[in-house]
Amino acid sequence: MTMTFVDLDVRPILRAGGEPFEEILSAVAALGPGEGLRLLATFEPVPLFSVLGAKGYSHEARELEAGDWEVLFRPTGVEKPSEAEVSIAAGDGEEWPEPVTEMDNRDLDPPEPMVRILAATETMKEGEVVSALLCREPVFLFPELEKRGHCWRGGFEPDGKTYRILVRVASQHGA
């Protein structure tokens, strides 16, 4: 079967300081049978690989001139369970302490929610938990938390619009 690609150029959005995540998900949702997505971005969108991988897409990325990237997302026909609900080290079923910090970041524009959550973890002690409400799934926050060694759990609230994430601070902040 011949694959056709729908083009989505998010470079203007990124250069204007915007967040194209919703546009990307909408474009993927609108793909028909035998269609893939050709995404043009100003950087290699590594966090997007796992998000679309969970939705059943493989990726092929290559750097273009001037540091821009082209990524071809192809449907594999196999959706994987979301890996974005719990970090690898979160310990399913393990009791976490009550959050010592509660944040409502739903009215903030990206990347401010991520900046505030990461700043909060820098002032907290090992094992303490921060809870944050967000207006979208923080796909760019997950790899930053894991890089610092923090565990997290998250998911959408019953309203389907609010994402709650709990972050348990690692010892020495991932050192």
The pLDDT of residue 89: 58
Query: Are 75 and 57 a contacting pair, CB within 8 Å?
Result: yes
The mean per-residue pLDDT over the stretch 109-137 comes to: 93
What integer pLDDT is reported at residue 71 of this predicted model? 95
pLDDT tens digits, 43-88 = 988 878 877 887 788 999 999 988 999 999 999 876 554 444 666 5
Task: For residue 124, give the nearest of 90, 161, 155, 150 by alpha carbon.
Answer: 150
Element housing 48 (H / E): helix 46-54
DSSP, residue by residue, 86-135: B-TTS-TT---PPPSEEEE-TTPPTTHHHHHHHHHHHTSPTT-EEEEEES
Write out pLDDT tens, residues 4-16: 999 999 999 999 9
The chain-wide mean pLDDT, for the chain, equals: 85
Q: Is 145 helix (H, G, I), strand (E, B) or coil?
A: helix
pTM above 0.75, yes or no: no
